[in-house]
């Protein structure tokens, strides 16, 4: 499966910079002409190149340069934060091939991640771990009630998202158990009880990501590509991953079902304290005084 071609979304930025610079130059020229017209137009600068005229010309040229700098800097900022729209959906993307070229890290965030529990991907993981690559994955706890918010009709009748997530966790646990200790230390996966707003795959500094739409599963969604080292969007995406990682839970015991259920039961976000002052204030605002 080939990786789809990338269509640069910011390709018009250089032309936009030239257009803005041209408008700035035109404005300065117009102001200069307005000031010189009462004195005889630009011919006044030819009258023996007087000291005052030369100073005036230098001042105008400096104004032109200074006025153009912010325009060029803004365009440069857009150039440094590129976004690339990839055609189609992630089902057409060569995810194993993308991961197989990693040299430093792999970070994956999604709902159930069946692609990353396939035999092909497991072999890719095995090769990357042998090369010293760090791999981290986050998926939604299959016992979490938030996973039930996903439209049921998007998924196979035999493989609801909860079932898919449980199958992924079983495969990842078996894979981790098969790794040598040194490699196992570089392979981690966690579960979160909350639905992430985006799914992402990070390979070193390259990030493939997509929002979770109501109409599509993650693998069927349109997606984008950003760099995490020179892109504001990419930087925020990896921070988002790290934030969810910090709030997620490792699955380490020999009884994963019990552990995952306990993770749900102990999550204050799923069982909020309804006796707080904020909750009582909400009741008063909404007219529920019971």
pLDDT in tens, 22-58: 666 666 666 665 665 555 555 555 555 455 656 566 6
Task: Say what the pLDDT of residue 233 is.
Answer: 86
Cα pseudo-dihedral 126, 121, 159, 252, rounded to 10 = 20
**What span, in angstroms and rounded, lies between the C-alpha atoms of 22 and 70?**
13
**What is the CB neighbour count within 10 angstroms for residue 20?**
16
Residue in the structure block whose two tokens are 């996966």: 189
Task: Say what the pLDDT of residue 290 is.
Answer: 52
How far apart, in Å, do the first and last CA atoms of the chain sit? Answer: 60
Encoding tokens for residue 172? 């990842």
**What span, in angstroms and rounded, lies between the C-alpha atoms of 91 and 221?**
8
Encoding tokens for residue 213? 């739409």
Encoding tokens for residue 185? 């230390």
Among residues 161, 159, 152, 155, which one has the least CA distance to residue 196? 161
pTM of the full structure: 0.67
- Give residue 271's Cα distance to chain centre: 29
**What span, in angstroms and rounded, lies between the C-alpha atoms of 87 and 90?**
9
Check: CB of residue 190 under 8 Å from CB of residue 249: yes
Cα–Cα distances in Å, from 130 out to 24, 101, 104?
Answer: 56, 13, 12
Residues in the chain predicted with pLDDT less than 70, given as ranges, are 1-91, 149-159, 214-221, 253, 272-274, 288-290
Task: Say what the pLDDT of residue 78 is.
Answer: 44
Task: Say what the pLDDT of residue 173 is.
Answer: 93
**What span, in angstroms and rounded, lies between the C-alpha atoms of 253 and 169?**
12
Task: Say what the pLDDT of residue 84 is.
Answer: 53
């Amino acid at each position: 499966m080939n990786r789809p071609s990338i269509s640069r979304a910011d390709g018009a930025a250089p032309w936009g910079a030239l257009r803005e610079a041209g408008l700035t130059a035109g404005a300065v020229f117009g102001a200069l002409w307005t000031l010189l017209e009462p004195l005889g137009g630009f011919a006044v600068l030819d009258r023996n190149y007087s000291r005052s005229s030369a100073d005036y010309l230098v001042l105008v040229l400096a104004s032109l340069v200074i006025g153009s700098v912010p325009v060029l800097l803004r365009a440069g900022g857009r150039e440094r934060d590129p976004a690339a729209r990839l055609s189609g959906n992630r089902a057409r993307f060569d995810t194993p091939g993308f991961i197989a070229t990693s040299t430093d890290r792999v970070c994956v965030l999604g709902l159930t991640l069946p692609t990353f529990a396939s035999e092909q991907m497991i072999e890719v993981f095995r090769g990357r771990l042998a090369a010293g690559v760090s791999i981290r994955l986050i998926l939604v706890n299959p016992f979490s009630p938030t996973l039930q918010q996903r439209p049921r009709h998007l998924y196979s009748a035999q493989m609801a998202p909860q079932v898919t997530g449980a199958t992924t966790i079983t495969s990842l646990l078996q894979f981790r158990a098969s790794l040598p200790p040194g490699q196992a230390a570089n392979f981690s996966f966690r579960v979160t009880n909350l639905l992430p707003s985006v799914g992402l795959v990070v390979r070193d500094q390259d990030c493939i990501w997509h929002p979770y739409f109501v109409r599509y599963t993650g693998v069927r969604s349109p997606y984008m590509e950003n760099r995490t080292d020179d892109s504001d969007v990419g930087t925020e995406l990896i921070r988002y991953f790290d934030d969810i990682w910090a709030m997620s839970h490792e699955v380490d015991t020999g009884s994963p079902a019990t552990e995952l259920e306990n993770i749900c039961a102990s999550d204050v976000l799923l069982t909020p304290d309804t006796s707080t002052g904020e909750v009582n204030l909400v009741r008063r605002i909404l007219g529920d005084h019971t």
